[in-house]
Structure 1
């Protein structure tokens, strides 16, 4: 699969899977149960870790650079899709301030995860190279 297509597809899946999860657990939010606010970041974290692992396995070098790239792109994909879904002209209206405070800030998990994973993979590759030299 083309590298850029894979990055965009994975970014979309990182948005889509938690969105689908939110439909199943939305009754928790409407009933005032704080469990909804715990499950959503967990779903985002799980899918981000899984897809970051999958993506990073497919590259051979520049792990930190690639992890920064995918983290930023995936973050932007999620924000852009949400803004289309949640801003005033959309069916699920929410103000930009409310969006950022409730949802948008959570997406910072994405680049934090990818950058951390990229750094770890890069260190592992460097240690492996030192051992083989």
Structure 2
């Protein structure tokens, strides 16, 4: 499996995006933290989404940003060519979901933490 890009990453262990990184790491999934805050998540530098870093071999994008913030990065996220996008609770976005599906990307309205904890990730 390729990488999981966690968009909305912050260097705060109590936040869900950080917890997702921890669970991904514990289950031997490669992850890339991305957001607008500087810092690290489990020793990985948080990449600035505004820089639109080139990331290859993306399997999943898991979203931890609200639909309003997603809008400015629609094209960028699609350009990463993920196989799927997980819209975690509070990130559901019909407009982006439609765009992603037209690009052949599977879209799930689900919780990454629950998926990992139940073995269906």
Tell me the TM-score normalized by structure 1.
0.28
Larger radius of gyration: 1
User: Which structure exhibits the higher relative contact order, with contacts defined as CA atoms closer than 8 Å and separated by 6 or more residues?
Assistant: 1
Which of the pair is proportionally richer in helix? Answer: 1
